[in-house]
Amino acid sequence: MFVIFGASGNVGRATAAVLRESGRPVRAVVRDPRHARSLEAWGCEVAIADLDDRESVDRAIRGAQAVQMLCPVPSGDPDPAAAMRRMIDVSAAALRAQPPARVLVLSDYGAELDSNTGITQGFHHFEQQVKPLASNLILLRSAEHMENWARVLPAVHAAGVLPSLHHPLTKRFPTVAARDVGLAAAALLQDEAPTPTSRVVSIEGPRRVSALDVAGALGDVFDRHIEARAVPREEWTPLLQRAGLSARHARLIVDLYDAQNLGRIDVQAGATERRFGTTTIEEVLGELAQRANIAARA
């Protein structure tokens, strides 16, 4: 049994779909029962679990041959870092108690760093907590997901301006489509080669992009000029809080972008196992706009 946590999300759905197409038995783990029907239609067994509830996590991984585990960022929590650590501690303890033949943890670029990386510091904690699994463990570190731009698309379409915390606007940074992460995860979960030590696999998209590239791609999608505008550093926190983030969450995002802009968050130096997705930023932005029903300007 292949157990996929977060199976209703962009990465998890892609992993589950590939595994089912390959004829593998999949237990799709979701928190919200409303996501069960579509996954059951693929032939998945569905388990309901809350990463804050050790008993439900234990039930979800029971009898697993392989487990894909994630730690979602709880954006509605007033203290997301503490909430992440609680979920990580619960899931890692469950995996250590019932170690399957293979565990794949969805992690992030920069997770090897132990401080001053904002949200990414939670993934460092995750990796440390699952380290005892050793030979059973694959850490799949991905670049920033292209889908993160979805939250600003309506405002960009309305104003013709892409606000960017990536500084300078010309700086190229790694990014990746969530579905490419899911496809890579499915391949790694099915790889039957022995893993004498834990593996760190890094994945990013086919090419690096800048904020100017993203604005250009959105201009093509919306059929209008989109201006990329660097948000001044002193305006980051007020901007994020106006978007609904708590003060602590905003601090984590500010620290994250500070680290990215300094070049600290990237593929780890000396990484030997790297993968590259095939989905372009243009494809993802077009799909996101279509999904949000945002049409080109008449």
C-alpha distances out from residue 62 to 65, 106, 206, Å: 9, 20, 37
Structure tokens that stand for 1 in this block: 């049994």
- 56 burial type by CB count under 10 A (0-12 exposed, 13-18 middle, 19+ buried): middle
Whether this prediction's pTM lies above 0.85 is answered by yes
**11, 74, 144, 262 from 36: Cα distances, Å:** 16, 21, 28, 42
What domains are there in the chain, each with its CATH number?
2-142+177-203+266-277 (3.40.50.720)
- The rounded distance, in Å, linking the Cα atoms of 161 and 113 is 33
Q: What is the pLDDT of residue 136?
A: 87
C-alpha distances in Å from residue 264, one per residue of 111, 118, 167, 258, 273: 11, 12, 13, 9, 19
Which pLDDT score is estimated for 76? Answer: 83
pLDDT of residue 298: 41
Block mean pLDDT (10 aa), the chain, length 298: 97 97 97 94 96 96 96 89 96 94 96 96 96 90 96 94 97 98 97 82 98 97 96 96 93 97 95 95 96 70
